[in-house]
Structure 1
Amino acid sequence: MERALLLEKTEEGSVLKYRNIELPNLSDGEVRIRVSYTGINYKDRLAVDASSKVVRKYPMVPGIDFSGVVEDSKSRDFAVGDQVFVTGYGYGTDQPGGYQETVIVKQEHLMRLPEEMSLKDVMIYGTAGFTAALSVDAIEKALGSLDGKRVLVTGGSGGVSSHGVLILCALGAEVTVASRTLENEEYLESLGAREVILFDSLLEKRRALSVEKWDGVLDTTGGEALGNILTEVKYGGIVCASGNLSGIRFESTVFPFILRGITLKGIDSVMVDHAMRNEIFRKLATTWSSVGLERMLKKVISFKELHEELLQSSVGVGRVLVDMSM
């Protein structure tokens, strides 16, 4: 029997409780992971709200990302004792995730921990850091060296945007962050941001082509602001869209695309292929690494504290990490 934080369906919605669960046998190609670290993501908070419909079947163990050590294996690629991690692929929403002492993982979903990283480091990045890194990768491939390039990041102190600022600044970009409030300006500047502006300024009406400001954009908000941002991207620039916190619709014209040759690229972190995952985490472990990574941490909690923390409505600044050994 193992301990898990289980989400169960009720007539009123859902209920989250600690349960003892049976350990199923492994099938061919599966690996059992003893979880070392997991974290609280935006999607994890949505998962415990039945009205969000993020969870597609019950009962479910939330936790969309986790790291740990292989405890048992029926895979030729992974052996007992290997340090590994998982992000995406529907863990925590479609299949049991990281909020349990051990997790069964399909071998094709498992990532080997880079030598330069710890199990804690890779979970500080987690899904948010991976999503941000995918955007930075697309921006770098479109623009070449980011040294001195002006990049706009939307989303304020959110997980994806904060990681985006940290990585972009490590690569020499001049980063402006759009935030709903200036309360977290000091935090964002500590990550390397040159400037923090109010997000509402991006909602002001623009011409079909406005003054060129941004070489690249890491957008986590979508909505009306995205349409306005497109009008300010420099010739040959790129906008990477990975979120919809401000809405799913925006208006635009063809002018930024046919007169300035800009690119609007969608970013998804759930079903990214294995080769790209390896490429991104290799960069995060080496050329993109930052001494400021620990600044991303809000706090580290124990597994027994997870239930209360997960149900809190206030997300706050920084990553909440769960140390399963505490």
Structure 2
Amino acid sequence: MKRALILEKMEDGSVLNYQNIDLLNLSDGEVRIKVSYTGINYKDRLSVDASSKVVRKYPMVPGIDFSGIVVDSKAPDYSVGDQVLVTGYGYGTDHPGGYQESVAVKQEHLIRLPEEMTLKDGMIYGTAGFTAALSVDAMEKVLGNLEGKKILVTGGSGGVSSHGVLILHKLGAKVSVATRSLEHKEYLESLGAHEVLLFDGLLEKRRALSTEKWDGVLDTTGGEALGNILTEVKYGGIVCTSGNLSGIRFESTVFPFILRGITLKGIDSVMVDHTIRNDIFKKLATSWHSENLGRTVKNVISFNELREELLNPSEGVGRVVVDMNI
């Protein structure tokens, strides 16, 4: 038996409760992970709202990312005692996720935790840190060395944007952050923001080509602002977009692309190639690691506190990490 936090669909919504459930036998190519840490992502909070339709089948154990130790293996590439990490691949929405004491995982969905990274740090990064890192990696492929480059980050104090600021600052970029309010200006500056701007300024209509401002953009919001941002990207620059908090539609012309040669790069963290995952987390563990990583954490809670935090979020900014050992 194991303990799990299970989401069930009801006629008038959904219900979330702890339950004891049976351990299932492993299939060939699977391992069983004793979960050490998991976290609360934006998608996890959406999952407890049935109207969001994030969860595709019920009952479901939420938790889209988790880290832990292999305790049983029917996979040739992993042995008992290996420290591993899981993000994406539909865990927590299509397959039982990290909000349980142990999880059966296909070996192709695992990455081995870099030796320089702790299980806790793996979940401080989680899906948000991985998504931000994918964006930064795409920027480097287009812009080369990011030192001194002017980079705009949208999303304020959100998870992806916070990690984006942290990584970009580590790489020497001059980071401007667009936020809905200046309430968290000090927090963003502590992560390395050079400048904090009000997001509303990005909603002001631009000409088809405006003054060139940004070498690169890490966009987490989408919507109308994205169309305006495209007009301000420098020749040969890049915009990496990974979210839709401000909407799913934007308006643009072909001019930024055919007259300035900019790149618009979509960032997906769910189905990323296994080799790329390993490379990105290796960078996060070494050359991209910041001593200020802990500043992106709002709180560390126990598994027993997880249900209440999901249903009644605590105040503050930063990621909630769940320590399954407390």
TM bucket normalised to smaller: over 0.9
Deviation string, structure 1 residues 64-107 (Cα, Å, up to 9, x no partner): 00000001000110000100010000000000000000000000
The answer to whether 1:219 aligns with 2:219 is yes
Residue 112 of structure 2: aligned partner: 112
Residue 59 of structure 2: aligned partner: 59
- Determine helix, strand or coil for the equivalent of 1:301: strand
Q: Which amino acid is 2:76 matched to?
A: R
- Cα shift at 1:315: 6.5
- The separation in 1 between residues aligned to 2:314 and 2:47, in whole angstroms, is 15
The answer to whether 1:319 aligns with 2:319 is yes
Deviation string, structure 1 residues 128-169 (Cα, Å, up to 9, x no partner): 000000000001110000000000000000000000000000
- Determine helix, strand or coil for the equivalent of 1:54: coil
Match runs of 1:15-164 below 5 Å: 15-164=15-164
**Runs of 4+ residues over 3 Å off in structure 1:** 313-316
Q: Which amino acid is 2:292 matched to?
A: G
- The separation in 2 between residues aligned to 1:27 and 1:229, in whole angstroms, is 48
- Determine helix, strand or coil for the equivalent of 2:166: helix
- Cα shift at 1:13: 1.3
- The separation in 2 between residues aligned to 1:234 and 1:257, in whole angstroms, is 11
- Determine helix, strand or coil for the equivalent of 1:264: strand
- The separation in 2 between residues aligned to 1:164 and 1:5, in whole angstroms, is 30
- The separation in 2 between residues aligned to 1:313 and 1:299, in whole angstroms, is 11
- The separation in 2 between residues aligned to 1:177 and 1:308, in whole angstroms, is 31
- The separation in 1 between residues aligned to 2:31 and 2:215, in whole angstroms, is 43
- Cα shift at 1:316: 3.6
The answer to whether 1:299 aligns with 2:285 is no
- The separation in 1 between residues aligned to 2:315 and 2:234, in whole angstroms, is 34
- Cα shift at 1:221: 0.2
- The separation in 1 between residues aligned to 2:183 and 2:296, in whole angstroms, is 16
- The separation in 1 between residues aligned to 2:313 and 2:298, in whole angstroms, is 15
- The separation in 2 between residues aligned to 1:263 and 1:249, in whole angstroms, is 18
Unaligned segments of structure 1, at least 5 residues: none
Q: Which amino acid is 1:304 matched to?
A: N
- The separation in 2 between residues aligned to 1:145 and 1:188, in whole angstroms, is 23
- The separation in 1 between residues aligned to 2:109 and 2:299, in whole angstroms, is 28
- The separation in 1 between residues aligned to 2:316 and 2:178, in whole angstroms, is 17
Q: How many residues align?
A: 326
- The separation in 1 between residues aligned to 2:110 and 2:134, in whole angstroms, is 18
Backbone CA RMSD of aligned residues? 0.7
Residue 257 of structure 1: aligned partner: 257
After TM superposition, the structure 1 stretch with the greater mean CA deviation from structure 2, 313-322 or 232-241, is 313-322
Deviation string, structure 1 residues 300-320 (Cα, Å, up to 9, x no partner): 000000000011256641010
Q: Which amino acid is 1:204 matched to?
A: E
- The separation in 2 between residues aligned to 1:144 and 1:290, in whole angstroms, is 20
- The separation in 2 between residues aligned to 1:110 and 1:289, in whole angstroms, is 21
- The separation in 2 between residues aligned to 1:21 and 1:48, in whole angstroms, is 20
Residue 183 of structure 1: aligned partner: 183
- Determine helix, strand or coil for the equivalent of 1:44: helix
Q: Which amino acid is 1:22 matched to?
A: D
- Determine helix, strand or coil for the equivalent of 1:9: strand
- Determine helix, strand or coil for the equivalent of 1:183: helix
The answer to whether 1:210 aligns with 2:213 is no
Q: Which amino acid is 1:121 matched to?
A: D
Q: Which amino acid is 2:131 matched to?
A: T
Percent identical: 81
- The separation in 2 between residues aligned to 1:85 and 1:183, in whole angstroms, is 33
- Determine helix, strand or coil for the equivalent of 2:183: coil
- The separation in 2 between residues aligned to 1:13 and 1:313, in whole angstroms, is 19
Q: Which amino acid is 2:15 matched to?
A: V
- The separation in 2 between residues aligned to 1:123 and 1:56, in whole angstroms, is 24
- Cα shift at 1:203: 0.2
- Determine helix, strand or coil for the equivalent of 2:120: helix
- Cα shift at 1:295: 0.6
- The separation in 1 between residues aligned to 2:215 and 2:317, in whole angstroms, is 27
- The separation in 2 between residues aligned to 1:142 and 1:278, in whole angstroms, is 21
- Determine helix, strand or coil for the equivalent of 2:321: strand
Q: Residues 274 and 154 from structure 1, CA distance in 2 versus in 1: closer, same or farther, beyond 3 angstroms?
A: same
- The separation in 1 between residues aligned to 2:137 and 2:314, in whole angstroms, is 31
- Determine helix, strand or coil for the equivalent of 2:188: helix
Q: TM-score scaled to structure 2, two decimals?
A: 0.99
- The separation in 2 between residues aligned to 1:40 and 1:58, in whole angstroms, is 19
Residue 171 of structure 1: aligned partner: 171
